[in-house]
């Protein structure tokens, strides 16, 4: 008689730690966002859909601690995780994270650690890693080195923030970025009002409060599930958008023709359409096909009739527009909390490279705009090179002038008082920079 094989349960084939390690390995080697890597993984493994939320929360937390864990393994076990292949390195991080910070049973952790080829970790190694007193271990170190370990960031980031903000504020900012970020929604006022949306979501158990600075933004105080699974989300009544990012649409104000040079996933482009009362022609340029497609989906859901265009905005196909949004790729140091994977690859040379590309785009923005037209330049980073230094360059080289624009939400720029800087620990947003310029 043929014995029927018992069904292999997916938990045995795909323990959550292995899923997290698989996704994080791809994020680290290809330098893609956690969101993109998760989308691909779960498209290939729809049967794992039920653990998607858990994998996201686990990955975010593990990536926040990744550099600290690497340092602990080097210091206490004498092994350098950097010499392991990416999957093994991330499985090691996931297991140390679980045992040190989540008190997962040691038996489970040790059993899964056998999958780390090239490194044999015993029970006592995990016990040592879990019980180590971090404050004691770092007590003799210099400030930047210590802060890098304690907040799990590269040393150059600690040094940069220390000299930008002062040591005390730098630590407060890093501490804030290691705790869950505040969730903000931008209400689609073309379809509903803020009061109606807050009331509708309240009936579903969510709690939101209106923001005091921006009339279409609300802060989420309590979740009762996933906001993007609500009927109000499907109906396009709101977009999950950080308050700092929503500032851009208001700084831009109503315009007839808007060109968003770096538009996907479409948060600012659809907001520009909304702020114009649905009257503006918004050209939403994006050079990555996949991102353009997801922007189309966002715009459709929000009933925002924008014009997505697949193009390289360094060579824009238009001239003489009223208003331009330039929100280019950047070093994203303001998003170390939202996208902790950035910590794995960020480097000073990237800041320099981003600043150069941003200047190419600024140059193109000057050719796009008509005389007197407005440019809103923004980034989700806090470096001077990508922000104030680029603004000064654009004024000297391209004939722009910075203007004071309302609403004022952030601190004045450093040496460019018209600009605004927002910080996670002060404004409860991502770290952000925005400046309005006029082409004279
Ligand atoms: C920071 S994101 C923009 C976010 C968007 N503004 C929003 O609020 O939803 C930058 C985007 O610009 C795109 N991009 C970068 N360089 C570009 C270029 N030269 N031309 C067109 N798109 C570009 C990137 O692929 C990316 O999707």
CATH of the domain at 189: 3.30.70.1170
**Last residue of a domain, which of 194, 212, 240?**
240
Express each pLDDT in 163-173 by its tens digit. 999 999 999 99
Q: What's the pLDDT score for residue 8?
A: 54
Q: Is residue 171 part of a domain?
A: no
The 10 Å CB-count burial string (b at 16+, else e) for 292-303 is bebbbebbebbb
Question: What pTM was estimated for this model as a whole?
Answer: 0.95
Report how many domains make up the chain. Answer: 3
Residue 94 placed within a domain? yes
CA dist 170 and 190 (Å) reads 40
Q: Compute the distance between CA of residue 221 and CA of residue 242 in angstroms, rounded to an integer.
A: 14
How many other C-beta atoms are found inside a 10 Å radius of the C-beta of residue 227? 18
Residue nearest to atom 25 of ligand 1 (CA): 288
Distance CA 332, CA 339 (A): 9
CB 422 within 8 A of CB 431: yes
Whole-number pLDDT of residue 287: 97
108 and 201 in one domain? no
Which pair of tokens denotes residue 426?
A: 């002060």
List the chain pLDDT tens, one digit each, 440 residues: 444 444 456 667 789 999 999 999 999 999 999 999 999 999 999 999 999 999 999 999 999 999 999 999 999 999 999 999 999 999 999 999 999 999 899 999 999 999 999 899 999 999 999 999 999 999 999 999 999 999 999 999 999 999 999 999 999 999 999 999 999 999 999 999 999 999 999 999 999 999 999 999 999 999 999 999 999 999 999 999 999 999 999 999 999 999 999 999 999 999 999 999 999 999 999 999 999 999 999 999 999 999 999 999 999 988 999 999 999 999 999 999 999 999 999 999 999 999 999 999 999 999 999 999 999 999 999 999 999 999 999 999 999 999 999 999 999 999 999 999 999 999 999 999 999 999 99
Q: How many residues does the chain have?
A: 440
Longest pairwise C-alpha distance within the chain: 88
393 plus 258 within the same structural domain: yes
Q: Whose CA is nearest to atom 14 of ligand 1?
A: 262
Domain that holds residue 266: 243-439
> 45-77, pLDDT tens digit by residue?
999 999 999 999 999 999 999 999 999 999 999
Q: Which of the listed residues 132, 157, 174 is the one where a domain comes to its end?
A: 132
pLDDT confidence of residue 5 = 47
In ligand 1, which atom is closest to the CA atom of 288? 25
Nearest CA to 238 out of 213, 214, 285, 271 is that of 271
Residue 349, classified by CB atoms within 10 Å of its CB into exposed (0-12), middle (13-18) or buried (19+), is exposed
CATH (domain of 303): 3.40.50.150
Give the angle subtended at the CA of 362 by the CAs of 422 and 308, to the nearest 5°: 85
| Ligand 1 close to Cβ of residue 314 (< 6 A) | yes
The string over 142-163, giving b where at least 16 C-beta atoms fall within 10 Å of a residue's C-beta and e elsewhere, is eebebbbbbbbbbeebbbbbbe
Q: What is the pLDDT of residue 13?
A: 76
Same domain membership, residue 352 and residue 389: yes
What digits encode the pLDDT tens for the residues 381-439?
Answer: 999 999 999 999 999 999 999 999 999 999 999 999 999 999 999 999 999 999 999 99
In this structure, are residues 314 and 326 in contact, taking their beta carbons and an 8 Å threshold? no
- Find out whether 324 and 269 touch, Cβ atoms under 8 Å: no
pLDDT at res. 103: 83
Give the pLDDT score at 282. Answer: 98
Cα(287) to ligand 1 centroid in Å equals 7
Distance from the alpha carbon of residue 309 to the mean position of ligand 1, in angstroms: 12
Closest CA to 97 of 136, 53, 60: 60
Q: Which residue in this structure is represented by tokens 């208003």? A: 323
Q: Would the CB of 162 count as within 6 Å of ligand 1? A: no
- Provide the edge-to-edge strand list for the sheet that holds 238-240: 207-210, 217-222, 184-187, 238-240
């Amino acid at each position: 008689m043929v014995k029927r094989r018992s069904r292999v349960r997916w938990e045995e084939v795909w323990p959550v730690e292995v899923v997290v390690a698989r996704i994080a390995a791809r994020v680290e080697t290809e330098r893609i966002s956690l969101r993109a890597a998760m989308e691909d993984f779960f498209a290939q493994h729809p049967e794992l859909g039920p653990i998607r939320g858990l994998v996201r929360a686990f990955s975010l937390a593990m990536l926040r601690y990744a550099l600290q864990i690497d340092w602990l393994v080097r210091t206490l076990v004498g092994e350098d995780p950097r010499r392991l292949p990416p999957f093994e390195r991330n499985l090691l991080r996931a297991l140390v994270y679980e045992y040190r910070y989540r008190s997962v049973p040691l038996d489970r952790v040790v059993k899964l650690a056998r999958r780390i080829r090239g490194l044999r970790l015993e029970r006592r190694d995990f016990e040592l890693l879990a019980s180590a007193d971090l404050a004691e271990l770092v007590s003799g170190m210099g400030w930047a080195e210590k802060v890098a370990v304690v907040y799990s960031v590269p040393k150059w980031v600690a040094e940069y923030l220390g000299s930008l903000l002062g040591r005390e504020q730098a630590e407060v900012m890093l501490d804030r970025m290691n705790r869950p970020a505040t969730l903000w929604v931008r209400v689609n006022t073309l379809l509903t009002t803020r009061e109606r949306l807050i009331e509708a979501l309240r009936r579903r158990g969510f709690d939101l409060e209106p923001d005091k600075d921006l009339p279409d933004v609300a802060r989420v105080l309590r979740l009762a599930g996933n906001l993007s699974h609500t009927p109000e989300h499907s109906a396009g009544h709101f977009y999950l958008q950080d308050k700092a990012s929503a500032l851009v649409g208001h700084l831009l104000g109503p315009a007839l023709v808007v060109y968003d040079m770096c538009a996907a996933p479409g948060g600012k482009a659809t907001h520009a359409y909304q702020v114009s009362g649905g009257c503006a022609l918004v050209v939403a340029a994006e050079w990555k096909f996949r991102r353009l497609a997801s922007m189309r989906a966002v715009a459709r859901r929000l009933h925002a009739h924008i014009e997505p265009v697949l193009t390289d905005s360094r060579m824009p196909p238009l001239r003489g527009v009223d208003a331009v949004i330039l929100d280019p790729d950047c070093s994203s140091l303001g998003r170390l909390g939202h996208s902790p994977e950035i910590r794995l690859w960020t480097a000073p040379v990237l800041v320099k490279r981003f600043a150069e590309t941003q200047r190419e785009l600024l140059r193109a923005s000057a050719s796009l705009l008509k005389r007197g037209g407005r440019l809103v330049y923004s980034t989700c980073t806090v470096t001077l090179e990508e922000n104030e230094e680029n603004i000064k360059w654009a004024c000297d080289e391209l004939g722009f002038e910075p203007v004071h624009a309302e609403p004022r939400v952030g601190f004045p720029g450093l040496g460019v008082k018209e600009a605004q800087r927002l910080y996670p620990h002060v404004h409860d947003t991502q770290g952000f920079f925005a400046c309005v310029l006029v082409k004279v």
